[in-house]
Amino acid sequence: MPLARSLSVTSLSGLEEWDEEFDLEDAVLFEIAWEVANKVGGIYTVIQTKARLTAEEWGENYFLVGPYVESNVRTQVELIEPTDPVLKRTIDKMNSSGCKVYFGRWLIEGSPYVILIDVAFTAWSLDRWKSELWELCDIGVPWFDREANDAVLFGFLTAWLLGEYAAQSEEPPHIVAQFHEWLAGLGLVLCRHRQLPVATIFTTHATLLGRYLCAGNVDFYNNLAQFNVDKEAGDRQIYHRYCLERAAAHCAHVFTTVSQITAIEAEFLLKRKPDIVTPNGLNVKKFSAMHEFQNLHAQKYMYLHLDFNLDKCLFLFIAGRYEFSNKGADIFLEALARLNYLLRVNQSDVTVIAFFIMPARTNNFNVETLKGQAVRKQLWDTAQTVKERFGKKLYESLLVGQLPDVSKMLDKEDFTIMKRAIFATQRQCQPPVCTHNMLEDSSDPILNCVRRIGLFNSSADRVKIIFHPEFLSSTSPLLPMDYEEFVRGCHLGVFPSYYEPWGYTPAECTVMGIPSISTNLSGFGCFMEEHIADPSAYGIYILDRRFRGVDESCNQLTSFLFQFCKQSRRQRIIQRNRTERLSDLLDWRYLGRYYISARHMALAKAFPDTYVYVPHEPNSTSGFRYPRPASVPPSPALSRHSSPHHSEAEDNDEDERYDEDLEAEKDRVNIRQPYTTPFKNKSSAVLGANGNSDSVTSEKN
């Protein structure tokens, strides 16, 4: 079944301009997610980065709802008394009825209000609520599934919160509640069953069953229509979770997903077509144009003690959850082995260092790695000692009015010190692949694959591998840098995921001006293909994992990497400039309009007497698109998605053909200026909103 794509609701021309602001004083927005002030995965990033824009739109009427986790609250939340009298009465009533509900400000950009519910404190109600869930929905939750038990507690408590808020309001309120993922979905189902005056939105960031199926190495996207979803969920012992997710999707006034490819997945697995796609954004901060961050970090990386030229060294990385197949670590390793062969056969002087930043279970740092750091420090101390001795002799020579005799500035003792330091760096074994001691070394997927392909960081290999199984931190003794600093120090991010509903890692690379490789099975990859005529010219390489076999996709990835290794330094700088210019496409001030439209649609469905939603017919255009740059470096004829490649002799011609400022100005006209708050109420005008009329489906309950 082909992934047919009509005019996407994420087309940047698909939403009309909103000139008049809507008075939100009589409307309240609750955004509910398990990852509010509780970092677990990518949803935390979505909510944290979007909070500032949403707070600007809704002001004091915006509340985030999440679980109370004491360790997180101590560092992220300032607990205060509720400023809204209705909310204060609501929280006091719940606390007096056997709950523990906290109120405060989340200390992030925008400082949004947060309502945190202690689910453990109300665990005594779990059996009663599970019985009620069975009676209402025929969904049974097993006692051993702690995560599902938490979802039951959280769902009933959030529904209680919304119902109590409506009851405490003096006038009928217009409440909008957006629920993220299945862990929060039960609250939505209960709101609809209890007929609360709440406009509900359910956003799925990845379907449960889809993630499990892809992890099982099935041909997922070519067989979406053939899956027996009930049987597949039951076989994987997630049937109760799947039922909670599917119920939330069908009960919501508005159902959204984060990408077009996840929308297709949801249509077949959850049996409802999303009303609108709400792509994930970031708060874009412009960086100074520094293209040689690699040199700043090189010494931190070089605990491997390898003899190669740093000027001819390329840093690649993959990062994310340790899902070996879903995240594409398997195909990346295989492509690295083939790249190593090509570089050696072509006698290339380029060295590739590939980092795998994927947290896994470890028990300590690798001794050889720590020893390498100690040797590096010794080299640094030796260099400082010789430098001080050299400086002293230079000063003494200048003091007497004589130019120094350079041949006499370093004496025999200096050379002895430096030779001893060099000899100390010599090692009898190869540098370690993994920076830590793995708890399950013999069964670790990455290490077993490394053993199979034979990339052990030998001096003859042009590709070196570093597996760092923990999150990056500036306090780490091995890689003392934060993730953002690390990314800025790399040349290319590689994310050949098979299952990636959105893809924050390539999006973060783009915002920071780092080229990346993603796939046409990721939400990010599909979004970029839609809005960029030639993604590869802008440093966005799209790997085909939909219509090609694994071996063909691996060959294509190898080609991307090999062509990238052939780029000159100037070509990489041009490409990084172009990549960073795409950051406007990913700014929440652009992508936030889809969340605004979803709330708009939900209000119109829940309160038709007050709000009206009139979808516009899709335009004939397919959205704003960055055209293929006319200037060099162009893509080779052999592949539209390949890297630019020209010989060094052509650089003089490039200087004449490439004008950075002119090209940047042309790119800037391809995207609108940001704007906010698209609402109007019925008393003033009819609401106008988003693009695709096909996206508006009837409410399914």
How many percent of the chain have pLDDT more than 70?
A: 81
Contact 500, 523 (CB under 8 A): yes
At 328-347, the pLDDT tens digits run: 999 999 999 999 999 999 99
> Which among 640, 532, 643, 634 has a CA at the least distance from the CA of 583?
532
| pLDDT above 90 for 651 | no
- Tell me the C-alpha distance between 493 and 631, whole Å: 24
CB burial readout 597-620, b (16+ within 10 A) else e: bbbbbbbbbbbeeebbbebeebee
Instruction: State residue 693's pLDDT score.
Output: 33
Q: Could you tell me how far CA 218 lies from the centroid of its own chain?
A: 24
Q: How many residues does the chain have?
A: 701
**621 contacts 635 by C-beta, under 8 angstroms:** no
* Alpha-carbon gap, residue 527 to 525, rounded angstroms: 5
Q: How confident is the model at residue 509 (pLDDT cuts 50, 70, 90)?
A: very high
Residue 674 has pLDDT above 60, yes or no: no
What is the DSSP secondary-structure string of 635-661?
PPTT-TTSPP---GGGHHHHHHH--HH
How do residues 579-598 score in pLDDT, each as one tens digit?
998 988 899 988 998 999 89
C-alpha 42/C-alpha 502 separation (Å) is 9
Omega before residue 633 within 30° of 0, cis: yes
Specify whether the CB–CB gap between 689 and 619 falls below 8 A. Answer: no
How many helices (H) does the chain have, and how many strands (E)?
24, 19
Contact (CB, 8 A) for 269 and 622: no
pLDDT digits (tens, 9 = 90+) for 377-386: 777 778 888 8
Smallest Cα–Cα separation from 504: which of 251, 294, 319? 319
What residues contact 431, with CB distance under 8 A and at least 6 apart? 304, 305, 306, 368, 372, 457, 464
Distance CA 690, CA 270 (A): 24
Going by C-alpha positions, the residue among 515, 644, 275 that lies closest to residue 528 is 515
Q: What is the pLDDT of residues 533-575, one digit of tens each?
A: 889 999 999 999 988 889 999 999 999 999 999 999 999 999 9
pLDDT of residue 571: 92
The CATH homologous superfamily for domain 21-281 is: Glycogen Phosphorylase B; (3.40.50.2000)
Share of the chain above pLDDT 90, in %: 60
The token duo for 176 is 């909008």
Q: In the prediction, which pLDDT does 359 show? A: 92
Residue range(s) occupied by CATH 3.40.50.2000 in the chain: 21-281
